[in-house]
Protein backbone atom coordinates (compact mmCIF):
# COMPACT_ATOMS: atom_id res chain seq x y z
CA UNK A 1 0.00 0.00 0.00
CA UNK A 2 1.26 3.50 -0.84
CA UNK A 3 2.51 5.48 2.17
CA UNK A 4 0.06 8.20 2.98
CA UNK A 5 0.98 10.90 5.46
CA UNK A 6 -1.87 11.61 7.85
CA UNK A 7 -3.74 14.92 7.60
CA UNK A 8 -5.39 16.40 10.69
CA UNK A 9 -7.76 19.12 9.51
CA UNK A 10 -9.69 21.50 11.74
CA UNK A 11 -12.97 22.95 10.50
CA UNK A 12 -13.74 25.89 12.75
CA UNK A 13 -17.11 26.40 11.05
CA UNK A 14 -18.73 29.74 12.03
CA UNK A 15 -16.82 30.04 15.30
CA UNK A 16 -14.21 32.40 16.62
CA UNK A 17 -13.57 36.11 16.39
CA UNK A 18 -10.20 37.53 15.40
CA UNK A 19 -8.48 37.44 18.79
CA UNK A 20 -9.49 33.83 19.55
CA UNK A 21 -8.67 32.65 16.04
CA UNK A 22 -5.24 34.24 16.15
CA UNK A 23 -4.53 32.72 19.53
CA UNK A 24 -5.64 29.23 18.51
CA UNK A 25 -3.71 29.23 15.24
CA UNK A 26 -0.56 30.74 16.76
CA UNK A 27 -0.67 28.20 19.59
CA UNK A 28 -0.90 25.29 17.13
CA UNK A 29 1.78 26.73 14.84
CA UNK A 30 4.09 27.11 17.86
CA UNK A 31 3.47 23.52 18.98
CA UNK A 32 4.16 22.20 15.47
CA UNK A 33 7.36 24.19 15.19
CA UNK A 34 8.50 23.06 18.63
CA UNK A 35 7.67 19.41 17.96
CA UNK A 36 10.01 19.05 14.97
CA UNK A 37 9.28 15.95 12.88
CA UNK A 38 5.71 14.74 13.39
CA UNK A 39 3.91 11.98 11.45
CA UNK A 40 1.04 14.23 10.34
CA UNK A 41 0.20 17.42 8.46
CA UNK A 42 -1.98 19.84 10.38
CA UNK A 43 -4.48 22.23 8.79
CA UNK A 44 -6.86 24.85 10.14
CA UNK A 45 -9.89 26.14 8.22
CA UNK A 46 -11.10 29.36 9.90
CA UNK A 47 -14.12 31.41 8.80
CA UNK A 48 -13.39 33.60 5.74
CA UNK A 49 -12.85 36.93 7.59
CA UNK A 50 -10.08 35.32 9.66
CA UNK A 51 -8.14 33.86 6.74
CA UNK A 52 -5.90 36.87 6.12
CA UNK A 53 -4.95 37.59 9.76
CA UNK A 54 -4.50 33.90 10.56
CA UNK A 55 -2.56 33.43 7.31
CA UNK A 56 -0.20 36.25 8.30
CA UNK A 57 0.19 34.89 11.83
CA UNK A 58 1.18 31.36 10.76
CA UNK A 59 3.22 32.31 7.68
CA UNK A 60 6.42 30.28 7.54
CA UNK A 61 5.17 27.70 10.05
CA UNK A 62 4.23 24.11 9.16
CA UNK A 63 0.57 24.79 10.01
CA UNK A 64 -1.48 24.87 6.79
CA UNK A 65 -4.47 27.09 6.07
CA UNK A 66 -7.67 26.25 4.23
CA UNK A 67 -11.06 27.68 3.34
CA UNK A 68 -14.28 26.00 4.46
CA UNK A 69 -15.78 26.37 1.01
CA UNK A 70 -15.04 28.14 -2.27
CA UNK A 71 -16.91 29.45 -5.25
CA UNK A 72 -16.82 27.58 -8.56
CA UNK A 73 -15.46 30.74 -10.28
CA UNK A 74 -12.36 32.87 -9.68
CA UNK A 75 -14.05 36.31 -9.82
CA UNK A 76 -17.06 38.24 -10.99
CA UNK A 77 -20.62 39.11 -10.06
CA UNK A 78 -21.20 36.50 -7.33
CA UNK A 79 -22.26 38.40 -4.21
CA UNK A 80 -21.22 36.76 -0.98
CA UNK A 81 -18.93 34.18 -2.56
CA UNK A 82 -15.21 33.69 -2.06
CA UNK A 83 -13.10 32.39 -4.91
CA UNK A 84 -10.24 29.91 -4.81
CA UNK A 85 -7.97 32.71 -6.08
CA UNK A 86 -8.91 34.74 -2.99
CA UNK A 87 -8.23 31.76 -0.72
CA UNK A 88 -4.82 31.33 -2.31
CA UNK A 89 -4.11 35.05 -1.88
CA UNK A 90 -4.80 34.66 1.86
CA UNK A 91 -2.26 31.84 2.11
CA UNK A 92 -4.57 28.85 1.77
CA UNK A 93 -3.36 25.56 0.37
CA UNK A 94 -6.68 23.72 0.84
CA UNK A 95 -10.41 24.25 0.36
CA UNK A 96 -13.11 22.08 1.91
CA UNK A 97 -15.94 21.49 -0.57
CA UNK A 98 -19.24 19.67 -0.22
CA UNK A 99 -19.37 19.66 3.59
CA UNK A 100 -22.74 18.21 4.59
CA UNK A 101 -23.70 21.54 6.18
CA UNK A 102 -23.20 23.20 2.79
CA UNK A 103 -25.03 20.38 1.01
CA UNK A 104 -27.95 20.68 3.46
CA UNK A 105 -28.11 24.42 4.23
CA UNK A 106 -27.29 25.61 0.72
CA UNK A 107 -28.73 22.76 -1.35
CA UNK A 108 -25.36 22.02 -2.93
CA UNK A 109 -25.52 19.19 -5.44
CA UNK A 110 -22.73 16.80 -6.37
CA UNK A 111 -22.30 18.75 -9.63
CA UNK A 112 -21.90 22.01 -7.71
CA UNK A 113 -19.33 20.38 -5.43
CA UNK A 114 -17.40 19.05 -8.43
CA UNK A 115 -17.36 22.53 -9.99
CA UNK A 116 -15.98 24.00 -6.76
CA UNK A 117 -13.31 21.31 -6.54
CA UNK A 118 -12.34 21.94 -10.18
CA UNK A 119 -12.04 25.69 -9.50
CA UNK A 120 -9.91 24.96 -6.42
CA UNK A 121 -7.64 22.77 -8.55
CA UNK A 122 -7.30 25.55 -11.13
CA UNK A 123 -5.68 27.71 -8.44
CA UNK A 124 -3.44 24.90 -7.20
CA UNK A 125 -5.46 24.29 -4.05
CA UNK A 126 -6.08 20.83 -2.63
CA UNK A 127 -9.84 20.18 -2.54
CA UNK A 128 -11.10 18.26 0.50
CA UNK A 129 -14.23 16.69 -0.96
CA UNK A 130 -16.72 15.66 1.74
CA UNK A 131 -19.14 12.77 1.40
CA UNK A 132 -21.36 10.93 3.86
CA UNK A 133 -24.76 9.44 4.40
CA UNK A 134 -27.60 10.49 6.70
CA UNK A 135 -28.84 8.22 9.48
CA UNK A 136 -32.00 7.40 7.50
CA UNK A 137 -29.86 6.35 4.53
CA UNK A 138 -27.68 4.14 6.75
CA UNK A 139 -30.74 2.60 8.42
CA UNK A 140 -32.12 1.84 4.97
CA UNK A 141 -28.90 0.00 4.06
CA UNK A 142 -28.01 2.64 1.50
CA UNK A 143 -24.85 4.14 3.02
CA UNK A 144 -22.48 2.79 0.35
CA UNK A 145 -24.89 3.55 -2.49
CA UNK A 146 -25.16 7.17 -1.33
CA UNK A 147 -21.43 7.64 -0.78
CA UNK A 148 -20.66 5.94 -4.11
CA UNK A 149 -22.98 8.33 -5.88
CA UNK A 150 -21.43 11.32 -4.12
CA UNK A 151 -17.92 10.22 -5.08
CA UNK A 152 -18.94 9.67 -8.70
CA UNK A 153 -20.62 13.08 -8.89
CA UNK A 154 -18.38 15.26 -6.71
CA UNK A 155 -14.89 14.44 -8.01
CA UNK A 156 -14.00 16.59 -11.02
CA UNK A 157 -12.05 15.41 -14.04
CA UNK A 158 -8.37 15.79 -13.30
CA UNK A 159 -8.65 14.79 -9.63
CA UNK A 160 -5.44 13.17 -8.38
CA UNK A 161 -3.87 12.29 -5.05
CA UNK A 162 -1.91 15.55 -5.24
CA UNK A 163 -4.93 17.83 -5.56
CA UNK A 164 -7.71 15.91 -3.83
CA UNK A 165 -8.46 14.56 -0.35
CA UNK A 166 -11.72 12.73 0.37
CA UNK A 167 -13.40 13.18 3.76
CA UNK A 168 -15.94 10.56 4.82
CA UNK A 169 -18.25 12.24 7.29
CA UNK A 170 -21.43 10.36 8.20
CA UNK A 171 -23.91 13.21 8.64
CA UNK A 172 -25.37 11.67 11.81
CA UNK A 173 -21.94 11.71 13.48
CA UNK A 174 -21.17 15.39 12.86
CA UNK A 175 -21.40 17.46 16.02
CA UNK A 176 -23.56 14.83 17.71
CA UNK A 177 -21.04 12.96 19.86
CA UNK A 178 -22.03 9.77 17.97
CA UNK A 179 -19.09 8.12 16.27
CA UNK A 180 -19.16 5.48 13.58
CA UNK A 181 -17.73 2.18 14.85
CA UNK A 182 -14.19 1.37 13.73
CA UNK A 183 -15.64 -1.53 11.72
CA UNK A 184 -18.12 0.76 9.92
CA UNK A 185 -15.33 3.24 9.25
CA UNK A 186 -13.04 0.48 7.99
CA UNK A 187 -15.73 -0.88 5.66
CA UNK A 188 -16.68 2.53 4.27
CA UNK A 189 -13.09 3.65 3.77
CA UNK A 190 -12.32 0.38 1.94
CA UNK A 191 -15.36 1.00 -0.24
CA UNK A 192 -14.25 4.58 -0.96
CA UNK A 193 -10.76 3.33 -1.85
CA UNK A 194 -12.31 0.91 -4.34
CA UNK A 195 -14.46 3.65 -5.85
CA UNK A 196 -11.36 5.85 -6.20
CA UNK A 197 -9.41 3.00 -7.80
CA UNK A 198 -12.07 2.80 -10.49
CA UNK A 199 -11.62 6.50 -11.29
CA UNK A 200 -8.18 7.87 -10.41
CA UNK A 201 -4.80 6.69 -11.71
CA UNK A 202 -3.13 7.18 -8.31
CA UNK A 203 -6.08 6.22 -6.09
CA UNK A 204 -3.89 4.32 -3.62
CA UNK A 205 -2.16 7.59 -2.70
CA UNK A 206 -5.35 9.60 -2.09
CA UNK A 207 -5.84 10.51 1.55
CA UNK A 208 -9.25 9.54 2.96
CA UNK A 209 -10.13 11.35 6.19
CA UNK A 210 -12.76 10.34 8.71
CA UNK A 211 -14.90 13.09 10.27
CA UNK A 212 -17.66 12.95 12.84
CA UNK A 213 -17.17 13.65 16.54
CA UNK A 214 -13.45 12.86 16.51
CA UNK A 215 -12.09 13.63 19.98
CA UNK A 216 -8.82 13.00 21.82
CA UNK A 217 -10.27 9.84 23.42
CA UNK A 218 -11.36 8.13 20.19
CA UNK A 219 -8.75 9.50 17.77
CA UNK A 220 -6.06 6.86 18.23
CA UNK A 221 -8.38 3.96 17.37
CA UNK A 222 -9.95 5.75 14.40
CA UNK A 223 -6.60 6.91 13.05
CA UNK A 224 -5.19 3.38 13.31
CA UNK A 225 -8.03 1.99 11.17
CA UNK A 226 -7.17 0.75 7.66
CA UNK A 227 -7.53 3.43 4.99
CA UNK A 228 -8.06 6.21 7.55
CA UNK A 229 -5.47 8.78 6.52
CA UNK A 230 -6.41 11.51 8.92
CA UNK A 231 -9.36 13.32 10.45
CA UNK A 232 -11.62 16.24 9.65
CA UNK A 233 -12.44 17.69 13.05
CA UNK A 234 -15.09 20.24 13.97
CA UNK A 235 -15.79 20.87 17.65
CA UNK A 236 -12.52 19.47 18.99
CA UNK A 237 -10.50 21.66 16.62
CA UNK A 238 -11.52 24.76 18.56
CA UNK A 239 -9.38 23.85 21.56
CA UNK A 240 -5.64 23.75 20.98
CA UNK A 241 -5.08 21.01 23.58
CA UNK A 242 -7.74 18.74 22.09
CA UNK A 243 -6.77 19.31 18.47
CA UNK A 244 -3.10 18.79 19.28
CA UNK A 245 -3.94 15.60 21.20
CA UNK A 246 -5.77 14.30 18.10
CA UNK A 247 -2.73 15.07 15.93
CA UNK A 248 -0.34 13.35 18.30
CA UNK A 249 -2.58 10.25 18.31
CA UNK A 250 -1.20 9.53 14.83
CA UNK A 251 1.29 6.68 14.70
C1 LIG B 1 -17.04 18.65 10.85
O2 LIG B 1 -17.27 19.81 11.06
O3 LIG B 1 -16.74 18.31 9.72
C4 LIG B 1 -17.14 17.69 11.96
C5 LIG B 1 -16.82 16.45 11.72
O6 LIG B 1 -17.57 18.17 13.17
P7 LIG B 1 -17.44 17.44 14.59
O8 LIG B 1 -16.02 16.97 14.73
O9 LIG B 1 -17.80 18.48 15.59
O10 LIG B 1 -18.38 16.28 14.58
Catalytically active residues, by annotation: 99, 169
Q: What's the burial of 105, exposed, middle or buried (CB within 10 Å: 0-12/13-18/19+)?
A: exposed
Please give the number of the atom of ligand 1 that sits closest to the Cα of 235: 9
CA angle 94, 246, 116 (to 5 degrees): 20
Contact 102, 128 (CB under 8 A): no
CA 110, CA 152: separation in Å to the nearest integer? 8
Of 35, 36, 57, 124, nearest to 44 by C-alpha is 57
CA 171, CA 154: separation in Å to the nearest integer? 16
**Percentage of the chain with pLDDT > 70?**
99
Instruction: Kindly state if the Cβ of 234 falls inside 6 Å of ligand 1.
Output: yes
Please give the number of the atom of ligand 1 that sits closest to the Cα of 99: 3
Strand pairing report for 94-97 and 126-131: parallel
Q: What pTM was computed for the model? A: 0.97
CA angle 119, 12, 27 (to 5 degrees): 115
Q: Which tens digits make up the pLDDT trace of 6-52?
A: 999 999 999 999 999 999 999 999 999 999 899 999 999 999 999 99
Pocket test of ligand 1: the residue of 169, 210, 215 to mutate, having most ligand atoms within 8 Å of its CB, is 169
What are the b/e assignments for 154-174, b being 16+ CB within 10 Å?
A: bbbeebebebbbbbbbbbbbb
Q: Give the mean pLDDT of the chain.
A: 97
CA 27, CA 115: separation in Å to the nearest integer? 34
Instruction: Kindly state if the Cβ of 233 falls inside 6 Å of ligand 1.
Output: yes
Sequence-ordered list of residues with C-beta below 8 angstroms from that of 238, at least 6 positions apart, any chain: 10, 12, 15, 16, 24
Instruction: Kindly state if the Cβ of 211 falls inside 6 Å of ligand 1.
Output: yes
Residue nearest ligand 1's atom 3 by CA = 234
What spacing in Å lies between the alpha carbon of 139 and ligand 1's midpoint?
21
What spacing in Å lies between the alpha carbon of 195 and ligand 1's midpoint?
24
Q: Which residues share a beta bridge with 42?
A: 8
Instruction: Kindly state if the Cβ of 235 falls inside 6 Å of ligand 1.
Output: yes
Q: Which tens digits make up the pLDDT trace of 158-215?
A: 999 999 999 999 999 999 988 899 999 999 999 999 999 999 999 999 999 999 999 9
Residue nearest ligand 1's atom 8 by CA = 234
Amino acid sequence: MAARRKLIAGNWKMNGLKAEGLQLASDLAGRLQGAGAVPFDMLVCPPFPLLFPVGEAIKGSPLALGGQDCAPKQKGAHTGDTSPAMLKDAGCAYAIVGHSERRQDHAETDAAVAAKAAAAHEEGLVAIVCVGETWAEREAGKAQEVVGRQIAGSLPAGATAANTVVAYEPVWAIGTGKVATPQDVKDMHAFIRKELQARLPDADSVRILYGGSVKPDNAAELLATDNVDGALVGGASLKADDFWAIGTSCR
